Amino acid sequence: MNTISLVDDKNAFLNYLSQMASVNDLSKAAIDFLIPLLNARHGSLYINNPFTEKNKLIYQTNAHKPRPMPAPKSFAILYENGQAIIPLMDDQTLLGYMVFEGLQEDQQPLPGLEIIKFTLPFLALKMKGLLDKETLEHKLRVINQHQLSYELSPDGYLVDISCALANALGYERHELIGKLPNFLNTHDNDDANAMEAQIFKKDGSQIWVKTDIVPAKDIWGDDSGRKICFQQNISREKQIEEMAIRDDLTKLYNRRFFNQVFAKQIDNAIRNHNYLAFMIIDIDNFKKYNDTYGHQEGDRVLALVAKTIASAYKRKGDYSFRLGGEEFGVICNVTHPEDAEVLANYCRNAILELAIPHTGNPDFKLVTISTGLVIIDGANLLDANEIYKTADIALYEAKSSGRNCVKVAGQEDDIELF
């Protein structure tokens, strides 16, 4: 740059500084201007890094060797070890400071001091603007890299998505922007502004997220119709929750979770006038199986029976439990009472078709199950404990009737479908 002409024309120099688009460019321009003006040999510029709160070297002339030094605490120029330290202050906030070699305190007044005093406030103001801009850009980069977020247009299309969310889902951003985000919501939720749901990744797998949705404002502060959605990956928390309500061996829901949901499901069915089926399932002569084949084989049979039960009752709203030992429970919604019997017998027959040898089950020589079934409707006035006892009595009747059958509470005959 032509330093002399700029020094002669202060406004031209300030205009020149105003065009600097980065802290580094501003630093170089200011030091190149001040070195000949101060008759100094070399110079450097530090900023007070807002992220580390430490002074950071931004620019130095080629031969300058920066040394540790105290940061200035006021507007005054500090002289130390043959250096002049000139602070850049915004009001009472230190933005940074410039260091020039070969300047002694006894040289005062410095050449061009009036120009320096005229220039420094503008330089500090420009520096603060650039630092604020870089701070904002840094924060936005951090958000983009680490925050799971996306933005929807008023008609529901994806107009932006963070790199973090795109990466978490296995996509490139350009593959998603401009499309309807069907993959982002897989479950309905009454609270659309703070919902937990599973979302699909590109490979078909799913992750659990909690989504907070906020309306985007326009420049006047009015609702723009767009929505900004912030997500948190809660897969780990859900995994821990699942571990707390799952049986270790069979992976079915455990007795603890059964106690949490049983009464609620009954109340929902009665309130909505729906049919609800509850059944208790028991493996026939299972103690004899353990005595004959050993507990390791017994655990294997428990796991196989549990898997078969879960496969039979896998519709939305179906629950399968291990209630304890060889006893299992099922809660499911049915359209007609007869459907519950059909499903129970389908499951019973599926266990029989596993063809697991069981010499201690004399009538069948295979592993079989017996089921006690209760059907709850809107007219049902029994509470959860009474319904459980009723199903248990029906199970006892199934055992007394020769096992490998379904007994429906209130009915004399069971139905067997092969």
What is the helix (H) or strand (E) element at residue 100, kind and residue range?
A: strand 93-101
Mean pLDDT of 83-96: 79
Higher per-residue pLDDT: 389 or 219:
389
Is residue 156 within 8 A of residue 47, CB to CB? The reply is: no
CATH number of 184's domain = 3.30.450.20
Respond yes or no: is residue 326 known to be catalytic. yes
Residues 284 and 219 in one domain: no
In this structure, the answer to whether residues 395 and 261 fall within a common structural domain is yes
Residue 400 and residue 305 share a domain: yes
Distances (CA, A) of 330 to 91, 144, 146, 254, 344: 72, 45, 42, 11, 9
Q: Are residues 66 and 131 in the same domain?
A: yes
382 in a structural domain = yes
Say yes or no: 108 and 163 in one domain. Answer: no
pLDDT in tens, 131-172: 777 766 666 676 677 788 888 999 989 988 888 899 989 999
Pick from 183, 181, 163, 185: which is nearest to 172 by CA? 163
Does 321 reside within a domain? yes
Query: Are 276 and 224 in a shared domain?
Result: no
- Range of 347's domain? 246-408
Same domain (yes/no): 159, 231: yes
Beta strands across the sheet bearing 158-161: 158-161, 148-152, 223-233, 206-217, 194-200
The predicted-structure confidence for 283-342, as pLDDT tens digits, reads as follows 999 999 999 999 999 999 999 999 999 999 999 889 999 999 999 999 999 999 999 999
Domain endpoint, select from 120, 138, 156: 138
Residue 251 included in any domain: yes
Are 91 and 112 members of one domain? yes
Residue tagged active-site, from 326, 338, 353, 412: 326
Residue 414, domain member (yes or no): no
Whether 417 is in a domain gets the answer no
Does some domain include residue 386? yes
In the chain, % of residues over pLDDT 70: 81
Among the three residues 181, 203, 238, which one is the final residue of a domain in this structure? 238
Per-residue pLDDT at 204: 86
Q: How many domains does the chain have?
A: 3
Indicate the average pLDDT of the chain. 83
Structural domain contains residue 415: no
Query: Which DSSP category does 180 fall into?
Result: -
Residue 278 has pLDDT above 70, yes or no: yes
Tell me which H or E stretch contains 80: strand 78-80
- Read off the pLDDT band of 371 (50, 70, 90): very high
From 96, 119, 138, the end of a domain falls on 138
Is residue 26 helix, strand or coil? Answer: helix
Domain CATH code at residue 45: 3.30.450.40
Using the predicted structure, report yes or no on whether residue 7 has a pLDDT greater than 60. Answer: no
21, 153: one domain = no
pLDDT of 67 strictly over 70: no
Give the pLDDT confidence score for residue 185 in this predicted structure. 56
CATH code for the domain of 317: 3.30.70.270
Residue 277 and residue 399 in one domain: yes
Q: Summarize the confidence of residues 42-52 as an average pLDDT.
A: 74
Same domain, 153 and 294: no
pLDDT (average), residues 17-21: 82
As a whole number of angstroms, the distance between CA 393 and CA 383 comes to 15
One domain for residues 159 and 50: no
Confidence class for position 18, pLDDT limits 50, 70, 90: confident
Q: Which DSSP string do the residues of 359-404 spell out, in sequence order?
A: TTSTTTSB--EEEEEEEE-TT----HHHHHHHHHHHHHHHHHTTSS
Q: Which DSSP symbol is given to 243? A: H
* 38: confidence class by pLDDT, cuts 50, 70, 90: confident
Question: 10 Å Cβ neighbour count for 336?
Answer: 10
Q: Is residue 418 part of a domain?
A: no
